[in-house]
Structure 1
């Protein structure tokens, strides 16, 4: 089988997970220059911001890099569901003196589009990865047109087989431990979600393409364990969150360093889609899975609460994304984190 390094063009079979809202080009460049695959999360970037970040990567490294996008289908807004959501948040609006009538509705994240594909074609990134499935085939054809390799996340064997059938070059096995949004797309049933070391060997047996382990891996020992179970490589995010290149808030950094980081949960309260983060007040009081509108429509309703609370030094209404294992988070450079993780391949 072709190795992951050969597919990616990297020295190491290590991918820095794209973390939308938590990092940009600086982290990607640092990781690329250590021989791994740095990633730029693009789901929350405007076209101008995306162009600027891509130009920075091209200027900062001559190594291969990854750009990542969401591939969700935008939902049809439901007035009834939005009203239920606003009613659940009403006591908090009152607490902070927020007029709910002045809060706009609308999406916070857009899926991969033809316009974005055209923009990317100017830069021809060597690797493009997707979360929540894949975009329509005509868009994938544009990506493959400049020779890019395509990766995508799977959370079940069924999703992995679907991705392989649709021509991905490698599958990312996203275990239940992983921080941030779940990549599931064939079923929203969370009982089907598996831990990394349960999912990984099943995908290795079922697929012909390489499998990349993701979720709960934060150090060289975890890397070695994943490779022993047949992974072609690993994708790691949480371990990079305390690096100076991460763009998370001081509140988020403090949470990752606290004992509270040991308690994470899947929650749909911040975007409408299950994502793993450190448990905070709104997750405790409403329950982590609440009456939020479909992804990404929940974002607008909770955004003013987050802003008010953060202005008061509180992360009670903030998405404090983290995997289940934050013990690998260290306040060192992304380059040093990459070098430490690379020891797991030897």
Structure 2
């Protein structure tokens, strides 16, 4: 099952009509007066975005934009893999695999394609179990298995040497691609390194004030914003029932990590709508469970060439912890702007950093 066939996004009008009907019939939860976002997303905020989704958001424009890029579908290791494949006119172009995370999609990279295609052949897949790749049909789809699937995809496309860029879960998977396919991977560029203190107080000695601030950001995330990950690591099917049945629920579940003003309303809803129309809320959430329960978690530091780009309002990576787990960091950039979705909010900066890193290779 190695056939690669052309693909176009084409959501049935009946499915769009059903979405609008479900939004109109949403049974909204209550909220303590004056609580704001203390207990989670403010009901008024979610209702406002849901109203925009129903009345002003243009899904067909998202479809048209996706369909302006060459898209394909194939099967790898028993599951569907959807991907954009944008070839460069540059005869010296390096193939580059761009990996998104959760709750993102290929939409994360649409704004950066134009800034990269002069130097790279771009392969932008939907992760297995996410978006247009469709739900996975068996267990065990952890980051390592996804990495192996992408190494196979690049080989199937005829690319003997290629680079990788990852964001969010794509950063984790990208690092695994580098481990799994070192003979073909020129280097890996990521926007996060999920390396944290190990508990030894000596690790914190000599941290700068800025690094202590970053630890505070990490602590806040773990204490206040990581509930989604704990649930998806433990019982992803439980939340999947609600998300598969309620577009407002899918919206709120996504807004906890992808809300205004960090991203535009249209960017948020493009991602939410993809999860809704493809029915992949549950299969995408299973990635957290599979990673938490896998038996072949990689051990030891990575040694392939690694580049890191840190954006101001993103998950805070501290270099000394990153270098503990990755022994060949050859490029490190820190920007005073941008957020977790730098491909959307800072595409020129991200593209420029990717180019600088791979020029070193």
Please indicate, yes or no, whether the TM-score normalized by the shorter chain is above 0.5. Answer: no
- Normalised TM-score (structure 2): 0.36
1 or 2, which has the higher helix percentage? 2
